[in-house]
Amino acid sequence: MAADDGLHFLANLYKDWSVRMAVEPALSLSAVRELFEEWQRPTMEPEDVCFRSETVGGVDCVWAVPAGADLRKVVLWAHGGGFIAGSAASHRKLGGHVAKELNVTVLLLDYRLAPEHPFPAQMEDFTTAYCELLDRGFLSENLTLGGDSAGSSVAVSTALNLRDRGIPGPRHIICFSPWVDVELMSPSLWTSGETDYLVPRPSGPELVAMFLGGITPADDPLANPLYADFAGFPRLYINVGSGEALLDDARRLHERALAAGVDSTLSQVADMQHVFPILAGRATEVDEELKRLAQWFKEEDD
């Protein structure tokens, strides 16, 4: 399959979702969640990676364990889905590719979803699982928090929460297409209609309302990390597609981190859709991006 065909696979999937949601605007929450389980389709099955289920800190999880991986090192991954959808299953193969490229294990969490469980349930689940790994003897310097889309916000908020609670934080944070501004103030949200085939601008306020639950203000630094103090934050890697709606969320997060003295890297890749690494194994451009991520991840070890 040509790389261009691979890139079109994700674009066509998003176009299909958008059409289905437009045809039935009152799509039930369960139907939306079923739709987002198709997020696994673009990702090719990673070779030489084993998967197993486990409960970590009371949270259902899936481990991705590549052959020969450094079992001391773990990336805890928060799937995307607007805080209301997605799962460890929908992102299992992506986790496998990340684990294989970084030569670590990846722990994908089925954190609690809104609206049944509004903020801070997602952050609390990640914090609990992270602390469970510390209790098992994993060193914080060997732990990384990562996520895509809304999951990036969960990863960032968890790192901030750990710091504020005086718990040794992770060494790295990885964010794919981060959604971190629940005030929806990023200009690209409103100017990318011709290039982003997924992120629905009209549904943004509804997703925010379900996430915040009518209790947490939109400028809470843990719910909206753009209001956070990033002093002492771990090394940060952000990637984003140049034409996607969350481009400015990624840029603003990067700028906020840099202003606080954080070692932050922004990889802006041309002509990519939202969470484009989900095409791992299917598109050369994506595999090259994962190699850049791996090089960044290993820099401190060189």
**Whether the Cβ atoms of residue 64 and residue 99 lie closer than 8 Å to each other:** yes
Catalytic status, residue 30:
no
Q: Which is the catalytic residue, given 79, 97, 254, 274?
A: 274
63: helix, coil or strand? strand
The answer to whether 244 is a known catalytic residue is: yes
Catalytic residue among 244, 254, 264, 289: 244
Rounded alpha-carbon distances, angstroms, from residue 111 to 133, 203, 236, 271, 295: 16, 22, 22, 31, 29
With beta carbons less than 8 A apart as the criterion, state whether 172 and 297 touch.
yes
Please name the residues in contact with 205: beta carbons below 8 A apart, sequence gap of 6 or more: 184
149 is catalytic: yes
Radius of gyration, CA atoms only, the chain: 18
DSSP run (H or E) holding 102: helix 92-102
| H-state helical runs in 165-283 | 188-191, 204-212, 247-259
Which of 149, 157, 186, 188 is catalytic? The answer is 149
Just list the catalytic residues. Answer: 149, 244, 274
